[in-house]
Chains A and B, each alone.
Chain A
Amino acid sequence: MSDKPAKRKRRSGSRLSILVMIAYLAFLLVPIYWLVIMSFKSNAEILGMFTLFPENFTLDNYRTIFGDPSWYMGYVNSFIYVSLNTVISLLVALPAAYAFSRFRFFGDNHLFFWLLTNRMAPPAVFALPFFQLYSSVSLFDTHIAVALAHCLFNVPLAVWILEGFMRGVPREIDETAFIDGYGFTRFFTRIFIPMIAPGIGVTAFFCFMFSWVELLLSRTLTSVEAKPITAIMTRTVSASGLDWGVLAAAGVLTIIPGAIVIYFVRNHIAKGFALGRV
């Protein structure tokens, strides 16, 4: 007697789950869908008719972007500084995260929190001083300036995530390696790094992501040579608020790299968001 109602309850529970999931995903995807179909419409269709699906399917908007260097160089610039930032962040964060995960040393907890405070700092606070600092060392409008500026929030994050992943590696492995006569550098590069490869992948993904989506600092620190695509888009909005089709196409093109990267790290993503603390 007690079996049947329980079963029915569970089934209705899972049906509810599916409903919640579908509703949530629809909520996420409908605005994106709207952007995507807009990028395939002509401006006349966007402004003149209200269609749920492009009537005159056109690739003109994409042609505009790929035919104009001031548009497509934005993507190249973004890619350059995002990659630079990811490499720099990983290089400095790896040894530091190892130190935090393995050793107790003078001021370690304070240092860790201080690092974290940089992740908490509003970029708006740093916009003006960065502008002056990088101008004074004549790095203004270079890719490396944006890459270094983004280290402000990516390095602490990288240390945090990597530390979480490194904690999961038993100390015995370090000790065995040292007994076997491995020096620190050799142990670190040959044994330890391959062991936390998924963690490094996830960290790289997060550095990539936060540098890719950021606008305020990258816009403040560039004018022509290193101008990122996101800044080019805002300029276009304010200059000619009419060219919705091109704007939508540019937006769609900024989503694609993220979608590709996320597919590769999908199995570790949840752990990464938890900063390796699960």
Chain B
Amino acid sequence: MEKTVNQRAWLLVIPVLILVAFSSIIPMMTVVNYSFQDSFGGNEFFWVGLEWYRELLHSERLWDAFGRQLLFSFIILLIEIPLGILVALSMPKKGFAASICLVLMSLPLLIPYNVVGTIWQVFGRADIGLLGRALSDLGISYNYSQNAFDAWATVIMMDVWHWTSLVALLSYAGLRSIPSAYYQAAKIDQAGRWSVFRHIELPKMRGVLMIAILLRFMDSFMIYTEPFVLTGGGPGNATTFLSIDLVKMALGQFDLGPAAAFSLMYFLVILLISYVFYTVMITADKNEANR
């Protein structure tokens, strides 16, 4: 659709700007301010320049958390995207069954994050949880609060449980928008199931899949509450992701300067990766429109 140039449209955007300025720019300025200063309690600050950044860039703790975070997001995308597509392809196309599936699938998305943590905390315990009990009955030693590998497996399973439905719903919306003429053409050409998927469904889902990848990347990269409730970042530091580390630093130890510098770098990394995604998405959108 052609858009007209109209500078007065700014008037319509002003309320959003004011609100977001209050809830984003002002706090952000505080963060920037802290990141260059040191405080000795009270309100005494003095300028330390880039000291905090230098310290953090050489901090093993931060790099470890960053590595864990990247690995986590990578695994999450690797599991959730294909699984979500598979579920979307398997969903009933219409009728009562489709409605039921939609409602049931959306259920995990609406559970408060800490309740998600609680559910899996309970579910995985060897004494009172179904999963923990079943695994120990099978002779598999499993304890997410002591064994790092088990903790990882549980956090990943929890996230897959929590968010795969989002990918599935998006893909489902994409599939539904494919005109039936495409399928009929494929049938005439006697295309197999795989080539229908490869040449019709996948290209048509590209737009929504980009959104799914973007959302899943952003959200898994700033995951906090679920692992915090489940493992508290442990055992040791095994599941201490960036947000958990940051909150520990900022609200636990009240190290304002390093925490602020950490925040900014954290935000910039997300921003950078998301900007790439966003640009690709917009370009894809435009190509779609031109076709």
Interface residues of A (CB under 8 A from B): 9, 13, 16-18, 20-21, 24-25, 27-32, 34-35, 38, 46-47, 50, 52, 88, 91-93, 95-96, 98-100, 102-106, 108-109, 111, 113, 115-133, 148-149, 151-152, 155-156, 159, 167, 171, 209, 212-216, 220, 229-230, 233-234, 237, 244, 247-248, 251, 254-255, 258-259, 261-263, 266-267, 269-271, 273-275, 277-278
Contact = CB atoms under 8 A, between A and B. Distances in A.
Interface in B86-126: 86-87, 89-92, 99, 101-115, 118-120, 122-123
Nearest to B260: A128
B9 A99 contact: yes
A109 B211 CA distance: 17
Contact of A121 (B24, B173, B177): B24
Most B C-beta atoms less than 10 A away, residue of A24, A132, A261: A24
B74 interface: no
Contacts of A13: 193
The 3 A-B pairs at the shortest CB distance, nearest first, are namely A258-B110, A129-B27, A122-B222
Interface of B: 1, 3-10, 12-13, 15-16, 19-20, 22-24, 26-28, 30-31, 86-87, 89-92, 99, 101-115, 118-120, 122-123, 127-131, 133, 161, 164-166, 169-170, 172-174, 176-177, 193, 207-208, 211, 218, 221-222, 224-225, 229, 242-244, 246-247, 250-251, 256, 259-260, 263-264, 266-267, 270-271, 274-275, 278, 282, 285
Interface of B is mostly: helix
A9 B285 CA distance: 36
Contact of A21 (B7, B101, B130): B101
Nearest to A157: B215
Contacts of B224: 122-124, 216
Contact of B111 (A18, A98, A108, A254): A254
27 contacts: A9-B193, A17-B89, A17-B90, A20-B86, A20-B90, A21-B87, A24-B90, A25-B101, A25-B104, A31-B119, A96-B15, A98-B12, A102-B4, A105-B9, A109-B282, A117-B271, A122-B243, A152-B23, A152-B24, A214-B112, A216-B225, A244-B122, A247-B118, A251-B119, A254-B111, A263-B103, A270-B169
A187 B112 CA distance: 38
A237 B115 CA distance: 11
A275 B161 CA distance: 22
A262 B23 contact: no
Contacts of A108: 9
A122 B246 contact: yes
Given A118-B20, A124-B224, 14 more contacts: A21-B101, A24-B105, A35-B123, A92-B19, A100-B13, A102-B6, A106-B7, A122-B224, A127-B250, A212-B110, A215-B113, A270-B169, A277-B208, A278-B173
A121 B23 CA distance: 12
A130 to B, nearest CB: 6
Contact of B113 (A20, A213, A270): A213
Most A CB contacts (10 A, CB to CB) among B108, B176, B221 go to B108
A278 B176 contact: yes
B243 A124 contact: yes
B229 A277 contact: no
B267 A47 contact: no
Nearest to B214: A120
